[in-house]
Amino acid sequence: MKRMPVRQVATVIVILTILFPYIRVLPLPTDVQPNFLIAIIICSPLLLSVRLNELVVFVGILCLLLSYTIANPEMQSFRGWPAYLTPPLVLFFTRSVLSKPESAPMLETVIRRSFYIWVGFGALQLVTHSAIVQLTLRTSTSADRGWMSFSGEPSAYASVLFLFAAYFVVKQSYVSAGIALLTVLVVAQSAVGLVYFVILALAWLGVRAHNHVLLVAIIVILVVVVMTTVDPQYVLDKLPRSRRITRLIEILLSPDAQLDDISITSRASDLDAAYDTLINGSPFGHGLGGVRLKSGWGSYVYELGWFGFALASGWIVFFLRQATRMGRDALAATVAIIAMLFSSTPLAMPMASFIVLAIILAPPDSATPDRRGRWRRIGVRSAHA
């Protein structure tokens, strides 16, 4: 049997820590385990190749975090560091992996298999109505709320499924993306997860609107017809009121229910807190380790003020610039993930940055089959335009 090279084994291990970020390895009171940071530090001599300009930015972020920590030298301040160190380390790792032509197919294989493990374990929980094993730090769920697979709670599970779906849209694996959506609706039963998929669909239709005007028109007409002819109360009366899936259908059919759902309103209030910090608060923010907002980008602004705003803006501009070179599907997926990061997905969760970077840093000559069974080059036309 042929042995895998040590570098390849290390690469797979680090990818798995990224794709399964909630698995409890250390008994730490965090929603996202620091498995990736530990693995990448240990494996850095084998895996990381850092460009000089990236190293300068990374050192700048370290100095910024150090200055905030000196101003408030408590353990809570140090606990805020992973949220800011994770994205650049994921960038170094992903770029290093994709720089090796033989590693790109392996990366896609690991992503696909990990997705079906996530889906399969969540479906098993739905059938057995049990968390089965306590692999995560907390299991905040129940049969009337939805299930969470390897995450901490259903909304986190929906976020993971959405990230997989965004990747599959770029790869034109629409069946897999559809399975992710179905799992969000039936297993996770997450209202905010459904919002993520709506954003992804709108972004995808937006970048392809000139080729899909008729499709967009049909969807709009169907939505208008359903909203004006279907009696939401009649539908809800036929469903068990104690189940989360009923609440999800209510949110779909009723705008008032959307405003009343705590999964949506709590995230909106946290975004408002970040905006208030930027406009009316201290230019230096509230410091590290304080109140953690249910918003990735919002946390940057809330904790670091205008420095955080500049840092978040830099990441967004970098993501979008790279995505425009990789084609329309990559741009749509990137826009949707950027939008998701305004919600309750912390940047300390390495999977968010990893999926974006796996999309926008993919080699231009990486081939993927389209729906007609032929092979095309992702982003070649736009990359050489």
Find, among 89, 95, 103, 86, the residue nearest to 7 by Cα.
103
CA 301 – CA 274 distance, rounded (Å): 6
Task: Tell me the percentage of the chain whose pLDDT exceeds 90.
Answer: 22
Task: Give residue 182's pLDDT band: very low, low, confident or very high (50, 70, 90).
Answer: very high
Task: Give residue 343's pLDDT band: very low, low, confident or very high (50, 70, 90).
Answer: confident
Section 296-325 average pLDDT:
88
pLDDT at 254 > cutoff 60? no
**Residue of 158 and 51 predicted with greater confidence:** 158
Q: What are 136's strand-pairing partners?
A: 23
Residues 6+ apart with CB under 8 A from 363: 98, 101, 104
- Torsion, Cα 313 316 322 328, to 10 degrees, reads -140
Least confident of 27-36, 76-85, 304-313: 27-36
Section 364-383 average pLDDT:
41
Find, among 315, 289, 287, the residue nearest to 301 by Cα.
287
**Residue of 12 and 292 predicted with greater confidence:** 12
What was the pLDDT predicted at 18? 93
> What are the tokens at 238?
């036929």
Section 226-233 average pLDDT:
54
Burial of 84 (0-12, 13-18, 19+ CB in 10 A): buried
Contact between 73 and 67 (Cβ < 8 Å): no
What was the pLDDT predicted at 205? 80
Sign for the CA dihedral angle at 324, 329, 330, 334 comes to positive
Task: Give residue 83's pLDDT band: very low, low, confident or very high (50, 70, 90).
Answer: confident
Tokens 């390895």 appear where? Answer: 25
Task: Give residue 215's pLDDT band: very low, low, confident or very high (50, 70, 90).
Answer: low
pLDDT at 200 > cutoff 50? yes
Section 183-187 average pLDDT:
89
Section 139-148 average pLDDT:
62
